[in-house]
Amino acid sequence: MTTILWFRQDLRLDDHPGLLAAVARGPVQPVFIWDPEGEGRWAPGGASRWWLDRSLRQLDHSLRSKGSWLLVRTGGTAKVLSALAEEIGADRVIASRRLEPAAIDQERAVAEALRSKGRDLDLHQTSLLRAPEDVRSGSGEPYKVFTPYWRSCLRGEAIDLPREAPESIRSPKSPPRGDSIGSLGLAPTIAWDQGLAETWTPGEAGAHSRLAAFAAGAVKSYGSGRDRPEIVGTSMLSPHLHFGEVSPRRVWHAIGGGRATRPADADKFLAEIGWREFAHHVLAAFPRTAERPLRPEFERFPWRRDAKSLRAWQRGETGYPMVDAGMRQLWRTGWMHNRVRMIVASFLVKHLLLPWTAGAAWFWDTLVDADLANNTMGWQWSAGCGADAAPYFRVFNPVLQGEKFDPEGGYVRRWVPELATMPKKFLHRPWETPPEVLRQAGVVLGRSYPSPIVDHAEARARALAALAETSRRTSA
């Protein structure tokens, strides 16, 4: 019987359990359904749509090399899949499981629609090393703290070796008609994506190239390099993992996760893969956290509403060079170094006292690796309101962070070119620079580069006062 392989966030052929199961049954019709309404408010943002457009084209190319092709259709997913199964006589739909709330609702609707016609939906675990239900505390509850969670994961059964893509894929005798990828309107209509195109190669081949380069190079100094944004010290695999262009099993074994002993730097990176897993497990257990804090006392937090300050943060015009460099890197490339993500997030929720949801929404639209679980956990971590979060009273000083993690200023000079000739001593604190030094550097504060929109000491005191007010409201 013919099987429909419903591609979602699993845009690859390598190490794809669902694909292998479908091929073993007989003819396969791969399909991708563009259904932004089915994703609710978390439909892909602008940068994600750019990536998806290119990744789908690469997936179609890979399928054609195996004798198949990618059918593309639009509309309500359950209705489209049910009609397609009827049209080609398919008795089963195979798909990769997702854990976002809207995606789970979508799976239920698809299963019900198929069941009513005597057909089945089979879901496979393809995006994580371990399913959420397989990692529980001693009391059977989901973990809220990373360290015991990760210990439990490491004590579990060994991670299976990745499996190769099938040699060929049989297609149905009468192929159905579909839409073109271009007709989905995912590509931008204005030329804003040059920096994305210069930085990234979406698709499975790009993912494996990036993984191979990291495994052969940067992972060897990952422990020290991962906090230095001016160098390529991280894997930059996050968008490839989000879109499923490479499996976490493939990454795990490429970095030595299957070996009994491995370098400490490899362990540090594998723990970051663990944080990705943890984020998805937390979202699956607490789906409300996509929009509401895990810690209920933060429902009462006195967040401000300040469109002008939010806009300055989004544009990278806060007057704090490390913050501005990160926000400009994000706008230009669709990505930001993880250390800098923590700095800019802390600045938004603590210096500006703006809600973490505003930051999460901006990241959602501008990150090529915008992932609901990771984005939610990262922002709730910074805001002190999530699982295993940093305490809210830990307020990053953006000046000290810049001096510590960008000591030579290479990162700031690249992304904030108006400060390129500033001496290292004053680069991260230009408002303290003597007038003559500013003049020699060609910097006019408030004109060529903004003055700080908030004073660090005053902002820190205001943030701690807000935390105290939240505590009073909670205990009242």
Could you list the active site residues? Answer: 272, 275, 303, 338, 356, 379
* Alpha carbon separation from 28 to 21, 88, 125, 155, 320 (Å, rounded): 10, 10, 19, 37, 54
Give the closest residue to 130 by CA, choosing from 148, 112, 146, 150: 150
Q: Residue 167 half-sphere exposure, CB side, CA atoms within 13 Å?
A: 0
134: exposed, middle or buried (C-beta count within 10 Å: 0-12, 13-18, 19+)?
middle
Q: What phi and psi values does residue 304 have, to the nearest 5 degrees?
A: -90, 165
* Helices of type H across 7-145: 17-25, 46-65, 77-88, 101-115
Q: Dump the DSSP string for 271-326.
A: HHHHHHHHHHHHHHH-GGGGTS-SSGGGGG------HHHHHHHHHT-SS-HHHHHH
Partners of residue 59 on adjacent β-strands: none
Taking the CA atoms of 390, 150, 225 and 333 in sequence, report the sign of the dihedral they define: negative
On whether the CB atoms of residues 113 and 82 are closer than 8 A, the answer is yes
Residue 430 is encoded by which pair of tokens?
Answer: 């230009």
Cα Rg, the chain, nearest whole Å = 24
